Structure 1
Amino acid sequence: MFETLLLCAIPTLALRLLGAFGVTRFATWQSSAAHGLAFMLVMTGTAHFVPDSVTVMPHHSDLVAMVPSFVPFPDFTVYATGVLEYLGALGLVLAPTRRLAGLALALLFVLLLPANIHAAVDNVPFNGEPATPLWFRVPEQLVYIAVALFAALGAARVAGVARRTPVRAGESM
């Protein structure tokens, strides 16, 4: 039940620790969280394309079963959301696109909430395991929305500071 959450939290903490030891890319919590969320998205995005024969992780059919009946083309929808997760991960690790990626991912996570609610309420099993209860799924999704916004707003704040910092004669950027 906590595996996906750990796929975001552990890389975030490890990367921030690297930042504390001087790796400038991870010098802020926002950057570390963006990269941690990107790691999780690559892992979860992979499940969108994994065939049923793979048993070590959730697979495409598990995700198709989560799609509520009002969503057309569930098979295509799962593939499309997998691609969006990969693109979002890429956008989070590239500093110039981090703000846009974080905002887009927050919206994607909101749009995916009905699938998570459907899976919990209808007891849709995931990778042969019992369904994750609603009390956990919704707050978990809210955490991902918050992390995406945290990364996006942190990127916006850093960009805003960079724009307002004047360059003096003889100094280089």
Structure 2
Amino acid sequence: MFDLVIFLVVALLGFRLLGMLGVGRFGTWPAGAAHAMAAMLVVTASAHFVPESVTVMPNHADLVRMVPPSVPYPDVMVYVTGVLELLGAAGLVLAATRRAAGICLALLFVLLLPANIYAAVSDVPFGGDEATPLWVRIPEQLLYIAVVLWVARSAPRGSVRALRHELVG
């Protein structure tokens, strides 16, 4: 899981470099962070749909094992959270929906925290590796919450007209 933090930081620096080179979309740190988080979410969401036979990366079965026993329909929940991550990523990329997406993703990350705690406490392996310890999982989840809330707070107030302009040009 710590690899995701590295991915997030490298993506952020890459987007900011593009911003410094004149790509206006990545002109601020919050905009770069929004795109970096979106890229990371596409990567993490992909695992929700990868069959168990794929062992080069975390897969659907790995994520199902993380779901606490008290949560009904763990298989379905993994698919649903994957879709929500993809929708959140799309929302972060569009400036007009960035605020709402950041707030919704923060809520999603809070709701996913029990699964991360369960996986660490129950020593659930992930992606063929040993279980990620709790002392790594919780700060990592808090980092993601902080980033999406910072992005949401920095985003311009969205409007239908701004979204239409962004989509159509």
Same fold (TM over 0.5): yes
AA partner of residue 48 (structure 1): H
Equivalences for residues 1-173 of structure 1 within 5 A: 1-155=1-155, 158-159=156-157
How far apart in 1 are the matches of 2:92 and 2:36? 9
TM-score, reference length from structure 2: 0.91
Cα offset, 1:23, TM superposition: 1.0
- Is the 8 Å Cα contact of residues 64 and 75 (structure 2) preserved in structure 1? yes
- CA-atom RMSD, angstroms? 1.1
In structure 2, runs of 5+ residues without a counterpart are 159-169
The alpha carbon displacement at 1:159 in A equals 3.6
The amino acid that maps onto 1:92 is: L
Q: Which has the larger radius of gyration?
A: 1
Counterpart Cα distance in 1 of 2:99 and 2:69: 33
Give the letter for the 1:58 counterpart.
Answer: P
Query: Is the 8 Å Cα contact of residues 48 and 82 (structure 2) preserved in structure 1?
Result: yes
| Per-residue CA distance 1:40-94 (angstroms, 9 max, x = gap) | 0000000000001111100000000000011111000000000000000000001
Mapped to 2, the partners of 1:138 and 1:159 lie a distance apart of 30
Could you say which residue in structure 2 is the equivalent of 1:169?
Answer: none
TM-score by length of 1: 0.89
Could you tell me the percent identity over the aligned residues? Answer: 64
Q: How many residues align?
A: 158
In structure 2, distance between residues paired with 1:47 and 1:120: 18
Segments of structure 1 that go 5 or more residues without pairing to the other structure are 161-173
Structure 2 match to 1:164: none
CA distance in 1 between counterparts of 2:10 and 2:105 reads: 20
**1:27 & 1:52 partners in 2: Cα distance?**
40
